[in-house]
Amino acid sequence: MSLRAVARKDFHDTVRSRGMVALVGLFSLLVALFAYVVRPQGAAGQFATELLLSAFVGPVLVTGLVPLVGVVVGYNAVSGERESGSLKLLLSLPHSRADVVFGKVLGRSAALVLAVFAGFLLPATVLVATPVPFNAGSFLGYTVFAAVLGAVFVSIAVGCSAALATRQRALIAGIGIYVAFVLLWGFFTGRVLGAFQGPIETLPVTVSSVRSFLDVANPTTGVEVLANGFLADQLFTGDAVDRQVSAVSMLVFWALAPPLAGLWAFDRADL
């Protein structure tokens, strides 16, 4: 019950925040504008929705903006209240530190999921209103994957917030993780494979399998792999099953490991 109370309060506070409303509005306008400008017809007038999402909206907007919104939503979840002193009041109520951390993960993730669905509502209206084939099932399914991506980054940011004492440190950590995953991951993995290719070849694995694992270890790539498989009607079927299962496993890891690590540090912190 204590966890639910923390989650409910954080959900309402996040939904009502002006920053969240502004971010949702900006995201919705950008996706709607992109959908209207691009709106590809596809082969013989088919698959316009799938092509728009997998080739344009996803790589250009979703994998860049949704993780950033997740970091902004989650970075001050614990450290902000710790810095202001309100965390002591919260913990004076019948809430454990685990209730605080995971309640904030659940509440802020739910708020971001709602925001993502709201952000995709205007683009869906634009696509319905324009003379292109529109697949509502594909659009809704892709929205679910975008929401999962945002929730994973909220979990990572809340984990950083729980582990660090100030909002500034939590923000720096969150932005650093965003830059590593969204902007520099390909560069890092290329360097790792280049440096350890010789030792890797002595192991009972191939370089391509290590490269595939490193790709899906990035939550943005993992969601992209699953979303593209869904849009192509090949989710958990065909040759990509192992890669998709690995992607799901890594998304679960990133959703749980950072909050648990943050709770471990938070439990040992002197408030």
Each residue's pLDDT expressed in tens, for the chain with a length of 271 residues: 588 888 888 888 888 888 788 888 888 888 778 777 766 555 444 456 777 787 777 787 888 889 999 999 999 989 888 888 788 888 777 778 899 999 999 999 999 999 899 888 888 887 777 766 778 888 899 999 999 999 999 999 999 999 998 899 999 999 999 999 998 888 887 777 766 666 656 666 666 777 788 888 999 999 999 998 998 888 888 778 888 999 999 999 999 999 999 999 998 877 6
Domain ranges, residue 40: 2-183+218-267
CA dihedral angle for residue 41, residue 47, residue 48, residue 51, rounded to 10 degrees: -110
Record the tokens describing residue 203, joined without a space: 């192991």
Whether residue 195 is contained in a domain is answered as no
pTM metric for this prediction: 0.90
Total number of domains in the chain? 1
Whether residue 87 is contained in a domain is answered as yes
- Rounded to the nearest angstrom, the gap between the alpha carbon of residue 252 and the centroid of all alpha carbons in its chain is 12
Whether residue 207 is contained in a domain is answered as no
Whether residue 39 is contained in a domain is answered as yes
Give me the helices (H) in the chain, please.
Answer: 2-16, 18-38, 48-52, 63-74, 79-84, 86-92, 97-119, 121-129, 136-163, 167-178, 185-201, 207-217, 219-231, 241-267
Helix (H, G, I), strand (E, B) or coil at 214: helix
Whether residue 43 is contained in a domain is answered as yes
Whether residue 201 is contained in a domain is answered as no
On whether the CB atoms of residues 186 and 83 are closer than 8 A, the answer is no
Whether residue 232 is contained in a domain is answered as yes
Whether residue 40 is contained in a domain is answered as yes
